[in-house]
Chains A and B, each alone.
Chain A
């Protein structure tokens, strides 16, 4: 067996890549950082070279298989996700996805670091790191996720690395991710990982109930009956769906989110006659179920983590009547937002919280804010963050964060169109606007016309500041608009380039292309260019190199300025 020790191998691999041979001409390794983007659109030599590198790193133990799945959309394909380790410590964001067909590589995407020279014995213990984080956040850590030692690539100085502890905690309004230097205890980096809807601001007990959504539209609810009462607990879907009514108790809501207070059956939204009238609970519960259905039927996915992890939401986290005594932070998060917290909840499997909105007589910017669960696209958007967390885990910052948001918008819109035939009693129509059913008039974002809400519809107009984790919400409209153009076609306002979309009747093609690219081809640090490459690869895999969907996706990215 061919064995090299890792530093020696890394140096050899780096040396190999820096030689201008024909075999290595495709891979560039500035500072030892290699970005892999080899697919059917790349020269075959690049694919072979990338595959050889990945194989060598895998044999060496630097890359370890973390997930392997068969492709539900392309039967002969399978996907591997590999995580890079340095001396047994994971390298943050260093991942590779490899698509194979009958064992042969089809595409490779991701980033690996070949020139790591770092001692991995920490001077601080995990308990020391916990104390540091407690001091930073004022909160205890999630019991389910103690600090983890990772090698953190320097974001501003590629090729340099630090040994850090990664720790997460919910502060009451933010899901903070802290990176604490394992030698000094200094805070190296942090970001808010709370995925919000908008910036800043066959069992015996199963029964079917009928509920009225916030628009008084009739919906069927899959619930559980216990002791004559009916609980918002869906056991009919392979993934159980729970909708908890926090009854406006914000302190308890925060304890629950922090994993410091349990949730009981008594906390579930309840009805006495199975004729549900609390629209916020009805829409949350039904919307989560429909989102599960969409993921299953459209993509063959088994729930959020593909293993039918249960789906939990909290409604009524606050009382509208307490609005004037609430802090700005509480208003921004629990009244005027919805969010997915990946590690929140009693068992740390993630929770979606739907904001309460504002009293009907209070407008904000000329818009009325209703219960956030009343918008199906918002429900699906938040759950899509969980799908991202369980797949590409796109870093919630800068372009990868914008892609994270864009994917949620894509799923939000997709579910809305999927469920349009299920709407009853004038509950609305499917469109490319986000949140228009609860933030009236208009909503908060438009994939069809991003500029309507001041969001960029071209890469040249992207937000480059640091607010909102680097503009994850506003910049999400660039890929989001590309998604729209690939389906509906049209001309980009800025570039003037036209796109021949596949048409609304074929939207499923573009949805599958994006879903597949975002869940199995992209990695934590993918940027817009990587998303372009991954979606084009996905289109070619599913529909052929010169297919209409592949052309539409390519034209759409070009039209929005992502090349």
Chain B
């Protein structure tokens, strides 16, 4: 179900980019033929959004009433804002290399299902459910991109890229759960709270994406007199990043998926 939702969200995010490309190609006669890229360096600064595309779960064991209990936290990662920037260099013909930095942050929650040992009897756990809110996820990614740059007009540049990423993740994880006993016969108890600790880890991953840049500002009548406008444009980047990190809570590992599809847009500078 979650996978289907994620795919749906990805499709939704890609749609504007594809429409933009199609529209530009149709609207601009000079874009019908591919030209050789004219600039060697492009710098960009974006902000955007990453749809919810990740869930992960962690199970923790604990000892209570002389017996082992456990809880599973099902983390529901929400969409969040992304700030993304970088610089790319065209090295030879259409080939280039790029270096990007992105930062993602979101606040999300988790559903917690616990099995708590009975105070009087072995093997008769009581089950509870609860929620943890206010959990923070931060990802700082450094992306190296191999680029294929296509220039369809002097104002329209499309690049396709892929490469490795280094992702540093910081994730709030539920470390303990608290319950309040209702009282005899102790067949029920109430989920009363949880504690959280922030865990950090760095891992490697992959990235791939499409960047559509449009340098049309100098064609606008009221900006034509500014020469610098020829170098300034706007762009839309659709990037998918994938990484996996194993976080530790009191020595118990939790595997966490990082990255996902992100859609950003911002300014472009070409030299």
Contact = CB atoms under 8 A, between A and B. Distances in A.
A in complex with B:
yes
Contact of A222 (B67, B120, B183): B120
A238 B184 contact: yes
Given A220-B120, A236-B119, A422-B121, A293 B185 contact: yes
Contacts of B118: 220
Interface in B8-29: none
A236 B66 contact: no
Contact of B184 (A208, A218, A236): A236
Contacts of B122: 218, 220, 422, 424
Nearest to B124: A422
Contacts of A220: 65-67, 118-122
Nearest to B64: A208
A237 interface: yes
Interface in B111-155: 118-122
Interface string A260-302: 0000000000000000000000000000011001001100000
B66 A209 contact: yes
Contacts of A208: 65-66, 119-120
Contacts of B185: 293, 296-297
Contact of B183 (A202, A209, A210, A290): A202
Contact of A289 (B67, B120, B183): B120
Contacts of B121: 220, 422
The majority secondary structure among interface residues of chain B is loop
A210 B122 CA distance: 10
Contact of B186 (A210, A218, A236, A424): A236
Contacts of A296: 184-185
Interface residues of B, number: 13
Interface in B172-212: 181, 183-186
Nearest to A208: B65
A222 B66 contact: no
Nearest to B187: A297
Interface string B65-106: 111000000000000000000000000000000000000000
Chain A contact residues, majority secondary structure: mixed
Contacts of A236: 119-120, 184, 186
B192 to A, nearest CB: 12
Nearest to A202: B181
Contacts of B67: 220
A424 B120 CA distance: 13
A205 to B, nearest CB: 14
Contacts of A293: 120, 185
B24 to A, nearest CB: 69
A72 B115 CA distance: 31
A284 to B, nearest CB: 15
A238 B184 CA distance: 7
B66 A237 contact: no
A300 to B, nearest CB: 11
The 10 closest A-B CB pairs, nearest first, are A208-B65, A210-B66, A208-B119, A422-B121, A208-B66, A238-B184, A237-B184, A220-B120, A202-B181, A220-B66
Given A208-B65, A293-B120, A296-B184, 10 more contacts: A202-B183, A218-B122, A220-B67, A220-B122, A236-B184, A236-B186, A237-B184, A238-B184, A296-B185, A297-B185
13 contacts: A202-B181, A208-B65, A208-B119, A208-B120, A209-B66, A218-B122, A220-B66, A236-B120, A236-B186, A237-B184, A290-B120, A297-B185, A422-B122
Interface of B: 65-67, 118-122, 181, 183-186
